[in-house]
Every structure is written in C-alpha cells, then in structure tokens.
Chains A and B, each alone.
Chain A
Amino acid sequence: MADDLDTLKNDTLAALTAAQDHAQWDAVRVGTLGKSGALTGLLKQLGKLDPQERKERGQALNRLRDELNAAVEVRGREIEEKALQARLQSERVDVTMPAPAISVGAIHPISRTIEEMSAIFGAMGFSVAEGPDIESQWHNFSALNTPEHHPARTEQDTFYLPPKPGQAEPRVLRTQTSGVQVRTMLGQEPPIRIIAPGRTYRADHDATHSPMFHQCEGLVIDRGITLGHLKGCLIEFLRVFFDKPDLPVRFRASYFPFTEPSMEVDIGWSKTTGEIGSGSDWLEVLGSGMVHPRVLANCGLDPAEWQGFAFGMGIERLAMLKNGIPDLRSFYDSDLRWLRHYGFSAFSPATLTEGV
C-alpha cells in the first residue's frame, strides 16, 4: 500500500479513536468518507491514472474504503452505546417513589347487599319490584291485616305525614316494603315471584335501631305453593348468601298479622366468635310465613285458588352479619374511612358467576 494511504488510514483510525461524541465522530466520517472527504478525493483522482496503475490503486483504495467504513461504523456504534448509557444514567429516578394516587370510590354495603339478594333470588325466578316510600295507611297496614288499633300504628312506631289534599287520613312513611307486595297483587295476575328491597322507616333511634333502614321482602303467589317451598327457598337463599353450603337453618313458629302459619328463621352461629355457620347458638335473620288469606282477599285474590309465602329481612342486619360490621348507625354516617373499609369495588358487581 502506498504511503499516503497508510497515513490516511492511520490518521483516520486515530481520529476515530479520539472522537468522543457523535459530532466528533461524524466530522471524522465526513472528513474521510464524505463527498469532499480525503478518501473520496483520492477515489476521484483515479481517473487520471493509467490503466495498470489505476487498477492497483483502485483496488487499494477500495480495500481502504471498506476498512475505514467498517471502522467508522464500529466506532459509531460504540459512541452511540456510550451516549445511550450516559442518557440512561442521567435519567435514573427513585423508583421507590409512589405513583400519583388516583382516588377510587366504592359501592356502599347496603347497595351491594341488595345486589347480592337480587342476584340470588333472581336465579330463583324472582324479579325486583319497587314502590313509593310514602304510603297510604291502607297499603301499609289495613291491606296487610293489621287492624286500626294495632300497636304498630302508634306514633311511637310509625312516622306520619299530612294527609293528601281533600283527605283526612295522614299518610305514613312505610314501615315495611309490603306495600309493594300489595301493589303487585293488585296490578298483575299470579303467578307472582318478587322481592321488594327498599327504604323503610320506624320511629326508633338508638344503638340498634335507626329511624330509616332497609328491608327486603319477598312474595311468591301461585297454585300449590306450600310451606315446604318457603323453607326450600329461604334455606337456599341463606346458604348462598353466606356462602356456607351446610349453614344450619332453623324455623320457629311465630306470629305476624299478614302470614299464617308464621315463622321466624334462625341461622347457626357462634355467640363467642361471631362466626356464621359454626358454634351452637342461633341467630334470628328472617321473618316469614304463608300469605294470610285475608291479605289475598284484600288484594282481590281468591284464597281458595291462590296461595303462597312471604318473607322479610333487614338488609343492614344481613350486611352486618355477612361483613362483620359492628355498628348499625355507621351505615348512614358516611365516614370516608368506613366507606373505604367496608365498601365494594365498582368493578366486581355481585353476580352468581363470580360469586356473591
């Protein structure tokens, strides 16, 4: 190789080694291999040589060009890599810092419990019925075989509102959602299978009573519905609701004006641990019974043809038992800490497929 090419080669390689960043490297590249680079210049001069000389010189130049191209490329990658490393080093952050918080809300346990009840009874063919919170005394009491002098009608138990214009009888804030059942019986022909969850009101306020609370009542009317169906339906509900396939369920005779026979329903639990389904104690969770023939007749159904059962349960009470919530009043206090603690994710609605 000619001396001038050796010199060019050595100078270029030295300059490449000396280049520390992209600009310096690019200057070397352009200075040697660019349009007006040294090597390019030598290549342009080839045409002036005689053929033999041109061939040798051309081969030497081409070799050198390939060699330098490769060296430039390698050095280029080295500098690029170095620059990347420097950038990565400079961009380092304290990854232990918390990500910006996004506030997350929650679904109230009462709504959640109603959803769970709707899902379970829905699977048994019930639909959800609703009605007004303000009822006539007939809807709330008389239709349900609760006579006028019944203690439940006293001011100590029931909230009253002024009568409708032109009427004499004060209206009531419903003490139970049974008015919905009455409306349903008046409004549709059997078979009927509904639950009626909703707000209810009683004039009571202490540690275990709230002037407003929620009840879920149910009504099944058909031909041939027996007390056996009542038991089957409620046992299935309670076992799915509490997710305890072997939950002990006990039925005790009781009395309600609107059902006969009437019974209270207990589930097994442990008084000492509070655990549902274990232990030797019983906890009342439901009232139920076969719909009283007078209630059917009051709502226009012939009790000789139609019969069925009804039940009612406190939604807060069941929510407390299921979720271990100790205090009834906390449901309505809207304390953010409580809501966060007992609330449910918006993204897991109560479904039977995911489990209630």
Chain B
Amino acid sequence: MDPVLEITDLKVGVDTGRQVHSVLDGVSLKLTPGKTLGVVGESGCGKSMTALSTMGLLPDRFAVSGGSIKLMGEDLLAAKPARMRELRGNAISMIFQEPMTALNPVLTVERQIAEVVELHQGKTGAEAREIALEMLRAVQIPSPEDRLAAYPHELSGGMRQRVMIAIALACRPKVIIADEPTTALDVTVQAQIFRLLRELQDQTETAIMLITHDLGAVAEMADEVAVLYAGKCVESGPVREILSNPSHPYTRGLMACTPRLRLGAAAASAAEEGLGEIPGMVPPLGRFPKACRFAPRCALADARCHAEAPPVVPTGPDHSALCWHTNKMEQVA
C-alpha cells in the first residue's frame, strides 16, 4: 500500500547563536494506513524533533535544513503556514506525552474537543457538541454526557489522555503522531490506552507514529520499527524481525535494558544475569562523532567504526541497519 506519510532524508538543525548543530541527519520513515510505526530511542536521539518537524511545530531556533516530508504526496515542508494550519489537527494530529499539562486548564473538555471540529469541519453549536460527545464515547470515557462540562483538573491522568486522543481523532486524521502517550501513566492505564488506540485504528485506518523509549510498548503496538540514535535512523524493519533479529548493537543494547518478568527458576537466573546497560550516554548536540555515532558506546567498535561512517546494510526482508558489523551481532549482549 502507498505510504500516507513519507519522511525522506530529513535534516534538522538548531541554531545556538554561534553555530548550527545537526539534530536530525537524514532520517527516513514511512507510515502506512492502518499500521503503526514505532520510533524508538533514548532521550535526545531526535524522536520528538521528527514528530514536531512533521507537524511544523519545531521550537524557536530549530529549523529543517533538508529532506522532504510528504503527506499523501503533498510536501509539508513547502506548505504555507495557512495550509499547515488546515492540515494540523485535521489530516495529521498529535497526542502529547503529558496529559496533565497538555490540556488547557481553564477550558472545558467539550470546548477543547469541539474547537477542532468547529475549526476544520465548520460545525457549530449543537452539532459540534454532538461530535464531542461521540468522541468521548469512542474513547470509552464513562458517563460522557457529564464529562463534557468537566475541566481537566477534574479528570484522572488516564481520562485526560483519553480526552487528548478524542481531540486528536475528532477530525478523523490520516496520521496520528503519539509522542510517548503513556509514559506519564500507570502501567494498567497504559495497557488500556494502547488497546484503545489499536481499536480506534482498526476502525479508522489511521496510521500511527508511536514515539517511545519503551520496547515493550513497541512489541505491543507497532507493525514497523525505526530505531533512532543521535539524529540518525540506525535500524528499521518489521517489528518481528527487529525484535527477533536485532541487527544494530544499539537495538541489542536497548533490548538488553528492558526488564522482563520471569517466574520460578527462571527468575533466579534472571537475577544473576542482571539488567543490561549501554555504557555512556547519547552525545550532546554538536558533539556527534564523525563516523559511526554509536562507536564510542559500542562493544563491537573497531578502528574502521571510528574512521568511516557505516553503510545501510540490508539484513532481512525490509530490514536494514546502519552498521559495519551486522554479521557479528551474536557477540553483543
């Protein structure tokens, strides 16, 4: 199927006043209708910047310096601000990480949902209210009629995130970008929110870009995965491929860092193994290594890794990694 959103070779830089540092360097992603792409990586690797570039909401000082972002063939980077406003919240919408602060504290739930419908679909008054109510039902909020008049502070975290989802879905967007949608929520609520997103996706054929650092969430939600590190996409492929046959040392490291629950005798051996870690941290902006960006933290790194940027190596069907050592993965973790 044709991709609904296609990001090609996206480059973003931040102007610190003295020089421009690269934040994203050639990120390419594809979203297919009805499918979920998991975008994974540590803090500071460029996940949120990818999302904000797509929305045209990059913070001050950040700017796209190359590549293209195409929504159903339309180049968003070339779109005028007015056109972007038409698309935002309508064809492409976003769910933010912090439901506690992402809703306006002084406006009712009804207002915040109805607003998008009024703006993009020209609905008013009772009609907009009816859609708001319908959306609250769709996100399975109990007694939705009463919640219309509620303010965000009267709702729990999970409820607020449901309201955020209702806002994002109100105009039946082609693409939803969910930036760590469950990070601020309890685990039990996380599972509910994921189930809800999946159900809604089945009904609407929306493509979801799920940004997360949680591989558990990816395993549960995603069809495809892209692993970002220091502004580059280091590995991408179908979720089963990536999880069963990770072909980049960073992906392997991330997986080793994910705790797994085991019972009985397995629990004892798990305790002995301990939890993996990736030494060091994501280099700060402007200090990305010249060759392989992961080399300083990589167990496989040799002289070539520090001298020459690695190529994209295909490692399976639709699966590729940015590494010199894709054939030596068994040696890691």
Chain A partners chain B: no
Residues of B within 8 A of A (CB): none
Residues of A within 8 A of B (CB): none
